[in-house]
Structure 1
Amino acid sequence: MALSDSPAPRPRRTGRLGWATTRLTDASLWRAFTYLLVGFVVTTTAFAVSAALLVTALGAMTHAVWGRYLPEQVGADGQLHRGAQFLGVFVDTTPRQLAFAGLGLVLFLAVWPAVNHGLGSLQRVVIRSMLGASAREHRLAEVTASRDAAVGDSDATLRRIERELHDGTQARLVGLAMTLGDARDRLQGGHEPAGVEGLVAQAHASTKEALVELRALARGIHPPVLDEGLEAGLSSACSRTPFPVALRVDLPTRPSPVVESLAYFGVLELLTNVSKHSQATAATVDVDQDGPDLHVTVTDDGTGGAHVSLTHAAGQGTGLAGLLERLRAVDGRLEIDSPTGGPTTIRMTMPWRRPS
């Protein structure tokens, strides 16, 4: 049982009475006590079954050695026989002893290991069901992990925006201010307007470039095209790929804005991966509603081999791993079918409305 499967300890109350009541009202205490009883029965039974099967197998294989020392008995045919009985037949001839030894060998090599694995699986089920974390504790751990991933993703996004503003737009605006300042100084110094015209034109061009960068940065935060709906946003995203993408959207109504944004950026991530890694010549994007869920499926005819990988030592993932964590934050799922050689099919499933 993994450490993460262990039940969480109850918070300790203050005072002597609190110290006692904390332990006596802890459900894991009574589960552990119950396991001592159930586990003893299961372990004893498992050992008895395994030991009996092992002794039977070894006994059958070595019957030719020790069977001759058994007392003689009168069989159904009225004759005296010496040896063990198997299915009412005495094993006292060479062919029967060879067959009996072969049966013991089968029990030893095939049946006994399989029974041991089955008994071990039974033990594992008992331990996990009685000592493992409850479904509520598992859910709490998943929510905590998803929250941490969402916080980390938000922090990375803020750092990216800060870096792009500092290294791109801010530097361009500083250059623009310096150009305008130079033009002002020249005008104040009595220079001809024709000599200042080039600086003004340069400042004008820098202003337009800064606006383009700001628009691109704003699209990364919330693309304005999503205001017209998910289908319009995905149509715009698919039109910018270097390969043809067939888009099919079948939505009766619009999902929640959070889910809509997640689906849009998820498709962007998947199409970017297709463009970078799969060597695909075409792709399809299917969006539909199935009951309370929104399904987004991206398929390409590339080389396959897509998988979720954690690349950072801190456990933060990139690419598909980051997409998986964002989906988990809204109780979503990511299914990947990408055999070597392709094709690749990746499905994102998320609730139609963001869970409260």
Structure 2
Amino acid sequence: MVRALLYAFVYAVAGFPLAVTGAVLVLAGLLLGGVLSVTALGPWLLALTVRGALGLGAVQRRLARVLLDVRVEAPARRARAEPGAFGWRRAVLGDRAGWRAVGCALAAPLTAALPLAAALAGYVYGALFVLGPLVGAGEARLVTALAGLALLAAAPWLVRRSLAPHRALLAALLAEDPADRRIRALEETRAQAVEDAAATLRRIERDLHDGTQARLVGLGMHLTLVRELITAGADEERLLGVVDTARANATQAVAELRAVVKGIHPPVLDQGLDAALATLAADAPLPVTLTVELARRPSPALESLVYFCAAELLANAVKHSGASAVTVDVRGTDGELSLAVTDDGRGGAAPGAGSGLTGLGNRARTVDGALTCDSPPGGPTVVTVSVPY
């Protein structure tokens, strides 16, 4: 508590000189760059000013994190569209985060002055009133001392309250813009969707090449052999043996084709998500309690996503959790479709821990959804996938 009060006082005292210095430098750079904009030097000076404002913003974010325990997420750095120095200049001047940092640098002295005034009024004048009353003697001295004690007692509250506008300014102008964050998330999910689609195509190609294609080639060879045996007048027993082998290959090829098709789009999904999940639960090696409550049938894309997420989570519960039972709860109301899979296993699951949860989270994000995992040591584990409905 004492350390937090001390850090807040240090920030209130040091923040204003930093803000004033930064504002003066940024303003001077803008004015000089504007005056020289008719020359080749002007754009470079403006770019350096914007870059300096970004550096000043980084310092302010770090001070706020260290001294105030206020975490302001830094905006993502914009990639250069063109290489070289001119590409750097174009990227800096076109970066909205840089110009927002410029605005923060120019406005920071106004908000930083409030905590400095609060610190001076509360701590400095409070100490002066207590240690050396400025006016009067006797009762007046006592009143002054009491007023100083009151100022000292109220100083932490005054500093905290006066820091609120400055914190709001940093959060509004130095954090990542919501629109930029949304664009970055869409770019990441689009890239993830493309990678998932490519991986799916590679898996299908591998399964067809290593399995079904080999079976069909073998079937063709056996049919050729049957033709040769018939032409040669081979005995019936040998001919039937080759036919049985060919039939077994055909049966296996059909089974493998069905498995490939099921990996793309399970046919049971045509009957609805509830029927598909019921089939999935019935095939699971653990007892599964299934609850499905949907206000309306989801789109085929959502049904497929929820189905494959449920299949992956059930597989995780079987392989990793040591659970004896699993509960699958699907609800679709109020614009949100949620899938919650709960097991009574050992717990300790977390995204990125090799459980496949990271991939499921990325898959949910492709439709603007999210994945949460609550898995304390000892269990139970509850993984929830929520998507717009």
TM-score over 0.5 (shorter chain) = yes
Alpha-carbon distance in 1 for matches of 2:240, 2:76 = 73
Give the 5 Å matches for 1:40-189.
40-46=109-115, 74-76=137-139, 86-87=145-146, 125-189=168-232
- The structure that is helix-richer by fraction is 2
Alpha-carbon distance in 2 for matches of 1:310, 1:301 = 19
1:26 shift after superposition: 7.7
C-alpha distance 159-51 of structure 1, shift in aligned 2 (>3 A): farther
1:263 shift after superposition: 1.1
1:195 shift after superposition: 1.9
What do residues 185-243 of structure 1 show as CA deviations (whole Å, max 9, x unaligned)?
33333432322221111111111011111101101100110111111100000001111
What do residues 45-94 of structure 1 show as CA deviations (whole Å, max 9, x unaligned)?
4456568878799x79xx9xxx7x999x84339xxx9xxx74269xxxxx
Partner of 2:329: 286
Q: Which of 302, 306, 310 does residue 263 from structure 1 map onto?
A: 306
C-alpha distance 160-53 of structure 1, shift in aligned 2 (>3 A): farther
Contact residue 373 and residue 383 of structure 2 kept, 8 A: yes
Deviating more after overlay: 232-241 vs 136-145 = 136-145
Q: 2:351 is paired with a residue of what secondary structure?
A: coil
1:277 shift after superposition: 1.0
Contact residue 7 and residue 133 of structure 1 kept, 8 A: no
Alpha-carbon distance in 2 for matches of 1:279, 1:217 = 29
Q: Which of 86, 104, 112 does residue 35 from structure 1 map onto?
A: 104
1:247 shift after superposition: 1.1
1:335 aligns with 2:372: yes
Aligned-CA RMSD value: 4.0
Contact residue 323 and residue 344 of structure 2 kept, 8 A: yes
1:328 shift after superposition: 1.0
1:209 aligns with 2:252: yes
Contact residue 340 and residue 382 of structure 2 kept, 8 A: yes
One-letter amino acid matched to 2:111: V
C-alpha distance 56-199 of structure 1, shift in aligned 2 (>3 A): farther
Contact residue 225 and residue 233 of structure 1 kept, 8 A: yes
Q: 1:336 is paired with a residue of what secondary structure?
A: strand
Give the 5 Å matches for 1:292-307.
292-307=335-350
Alpha-carbon distance in 1 for matches of 2:222, 2:80 = 65
1:325 aligns with 2:362: yes
One-letter amino acid matched to 2:203: R
Contact residue 31 and residue 130 of structure 1 kept, 8 A: yes
Alpha-carbon distance in 2 for matches of 1:181, 1:46 = 91
One-letter amino acid matched to 1:42: T
1:131 shift after superposition: 3.3
Partner of 1:273: 316
Q: 1:191 is paired with a residue of what secondary structure?
A: coil
Q: Which runs of 5+ in 2 are unaligned?
A: 1-60, 62-71, 83-88
Deviating more after overlay: 197-206 vs 219-228 = 197-206
One-letter amino acid matched to 2:105: L
C-alpha distance 29-155 of structure 1, shift in aligned 2 (>3 A): closer
Deviating more after overlay: 25-34 vs 129-138 = 25-34
Q: 1:302 is paired with a residue of what secondary structure?
A: coil
Q: Which entry has the higher C-alpha Rg, 1 or 2?
A: 1
What do residues 87-113 of structure 1 show as CA deviations (whole Å, max 9, x unaligned)?
269xxxxxxxxxx9xxx9x99xxx69x
Alpha-carbon distance in 1 for matches of 2:245, 2:166 = 77
Q: Which of 334, 351, 354 does residue 388 from structure 2 map onto?
A: 351
Q: Which runs of 5+ in 1 are unaligned?
A: 13-18, 90-99, 312-317
1:5 aligns with 2:75: yes
Contact residue 321 and residue 347 of structure 2 kept, 8 A: yes
One-letter amino acid matched to 2:146: L
One-letter amino acid matched to 2:75: D
Contact residue 78 and residue 95 of structure 2 kept, 8 A: no
The share of aligned pairs that are identical, in percent, is 40
Alpha-carbon distance in 1 for matches of 2:226, 2:268 = 39
Q: 2:181 is paired with a residue of what secondary structure?
A: helix
Q: 1:5 is paired with a residue of what secondary structure?
A: coil
Alpha-carbon distance in 1 for matches of 2:251, 2:110 = 79
1:141 shift after superposition: 0.8
Q: 1:261 is paired with a residue of what secondary structure?
A: helix
How many residues of Structure 1 are paired with residues of Structure 2 in the alignment? 310
Q: 2:139 is paired with a residue of what secondary structure?
A: coil
Alpha-carbon distance in 2 for matches of 1:345, 1:70 = 63
C-alpha distance 45-156 of structure 1, shift in aligned 2 (>3 A): same
C-alpha distance 310-127 of structure 1, shift in aligned 2 (>3 A): farther
1:127 shift after superposition: 2.6
Alpha-carbon distance in 1 for matches of 2:346, 2:353 = 21
1:225 aligns with 2:284: no
Alpha-carbon distance in 1 for matches of 2:74, 2:382 = 31
Contact residue 329 and residue 339 of structure 2 kept, 8 A: yes
